[in-house]
Amino acid sequence: MLTLEDRIADRLRRADYRDWRDKVTATGGCAQPIRMTGGWQVQHATTGALLDWHGGDVFIPCGNRRSSVCPSCSDRYAADAYHLMHAGLAGGSKNVPTSVTEKPRVFATLTAPSFGPVHNRRTTNRGKTLPCACGTWHHPDDPAIGTPLDPDTYDYVGSVLWQANAGDLWHRFTQALRRELLKAAGLPARTAFTDHARLSYAKVAEYQRRGLVHFHAVIRLDGPDGPADPTPAWATVELLEAAIMGAARAVGLDRERPDGTPVSLRWGTQVDVRRIRPAGAHEVEDDSGEISEARLAGYVAKYATKGTGKSEAADRPIRSQLDIDHLRVTDHHRRIIQTAWDLGDLDQYSKLNLRRWAHMLAFRGHFLSKSRAYSTTFKAIRAERRAFRTAEMLDQLGHDPGTVLLVNDWTYTGTGYDNDAERELALAIAERNRDQRQRKYEQEVAA
């Protein structure tokens, strides 16, 4: 039987390798591309005359945001997430003026509550490692970190219900935050918040090692008409900080366990709020705890593509109990998935659709979401990229983009590669592209 190295060598020697490599390179080295066949033609916009035609088989990037599934598409998603986040932080786009840097803005982190003591690696202010409650000094990469000290008493049902309702809890938080801001400003509680200001935010969910998400959010106060509208005088960053802390403490959801026992779902006690500064683009934070715009955008983009990782959950939906039994995860994460799967079979949780989201440890929300007025959108970013590439291609072919139409006709033929050798070669192309981008970035910084 041929080894993987032999299969790779065989693929490299085949006559069609160069054409295959060009198609993979066009996707950036996508790990599981969509295979299409067909063609596209260029027509004169007025007469409809055929000016050009190209056809054949092509690969389309899969678009998966998780690096554990497709490193190439994950990098592209991270780049888009960075631009989306940075547009709302620094402005400069047609939707967001640069004056947003002068508005009250903070970076807030809302955590999940405790559902039982877990193994941890605590340190003192001087960086000295403290022993865990189990009496052990855990290595930073110890898989035991985040797992329960006593799995039999850990509240797995409560943790799954909290995770499944985290999106609703965030919605309640934003509502409470507006009320807190009105109260702090001395405005009547029944006053419409949008008559005085607008709450703009972008948030991203990040899995912690115990399998529960934290929400990291850029929160900004605008005028009633959005980013270009001056923020009212009463809206200060100090007021925003206090309102976030108050709203996080006040909000909660009342739900029931399978036996009917009530359970209150709330945020954890650790709520962190830091101010954002426009300067210091190459620093994450300084002694004041403030965070710079550029690094914060990259920080959040990393969260958006991190996903659950192979060591924490599944990359694909769970279809049966057999899938759960064969997952390569820790016992703790397997038990979270199993709990979500079991609860998903109960009628009282049918609206949560837990079996569909069991592979995500019951988290049902978007990993990156934003309010309408925060900044641009993924759709707009991707449309701009497609328009640029189309205009570039037409220019290379000698056509005026303003006088022609591009007509596509493609048929789906499959997903992924024919074998593991092709996938490994594609991953190598993706890694080479990443290295080239890193070197280019380092050269730009050095210059």
Q: What are the pLDDT digits (tens) for 5-47?
A: 999 999 999 999 999 999 999 999 999 999 999 999 999 999 9
Looking at the chain, the whole-number percentage of residues with pLDDT higher than 90 is 69
* pLDDT of res. 409: 94
14 φ, ψ to 5°? Answer: -70, 150
Residues 117/153, Cβ–Cβ less than 8 Å: no
- CA nearest neighbour of 375 among 302, 297, 304, 298: 297
Residue 303, pLDDT above cutoff 90: no
Rounded CA gap, 56 and 27, in Å?
Answer: 16
- Give the model confidence (pLDDT) of 43-55 as tens digits: 999 998 999 999 9
In this prediction, residue 282 has a pLDDT band, given cuts at 50, 70 and 90, of: very low
Q: What is the pTM of this model?
A: 0.86
DSSP string, 285-313: B-TT--EEHHHHHHHHHHHHHH-S-TTTS
- For the beta carbon of residue 44, count every other beta carbon within 10 angstroms: 13
Strand bridging mode 213-222 / 198-207: antiparallel
Cβ contacts of 322 within 8 Å, gap of 6 or more:
none
Give the pLDDT confidence score for residue 313 in this predicted structure: 65
Mean pLDDT over 322-347 rounds to: 94
187-201, 218-232, 271-285, 414-428: segment of lowest average pLDDT: 271-285
Predicted confidence band at 307 (pLDDT cuts at 50, 70, 90)? low
Confidence tier at 302 by pLDDT (50, 70, 90): confident
Cβ atoms 375, 87 nearer than 8 A = yes
Q: What confidence score (pLDDT) does residue 284 get?
A: 46
* Contact yes or no for 291/304 (Cβ under 8 A): no
Residue 311 is predicted with a pLDDT of 41
Task: Tell me which of 98 and 172 has the higher pLDDT.
Answer: 172
- 244-265 pLDDT, tens digit per residue, is 999 999 999 999 999 999 999 9
How much is the pLDDT for 295? Answer: 77
- Rounded Cα distance, 356 and 353, in Å: 6
Question: What residue spans of 129-255 are helical by DSSP H?
Answer: 156-164, 166-184, 237-250
Q: In the predicted model, is pLDDT for residue 309 greater than 60?
A: no
What pLDDT was estimated at residue 123? 86
| Mean pLDDT of all residues in 373-399 | 91
Binning pLDDT at 50, 70 and 90, where does residue 283 land? very low
Whether the predicted pLDDT of 291 surpasses 70: yes
**Residue 383 pLDDT grade (very low, low, confident, very high; cuts 50, 70, 90):** very high
> What is the structure's pLDDT at 447?
65
pLDDT at 125: 83
430 residue type, one letter: A
Predicted local distance difference test score (pLDDT) of residue 279: 54
Lowest-confidence pick of 214-223, 304-313, 331-340, 375-384: 304-313
* Residue 198 pLDDT greater than 50, yes or no: yes
pLDDT in tens, 137-193: 998 889 899 999 999 999 999 999 999 999 999 999 999 999 999 999 888 877 889
Mean pLDDT of the chain: 90
Confidence of residue 310 (pLDDT cuts 50, 70, 90): very low
Across the range 358-383, mean pLDDT stands at 91
**Model confidence pLDDT, tens digit, residues 117-149:** 999 998 888 888 899 999 999 988 898 999 999
What is the arithmetic mean of pLDDT over 417-445?
89
Residue 293 pLDDT greater than 50, yes or no: yes
Token digits for 416? Answer: 């992924």
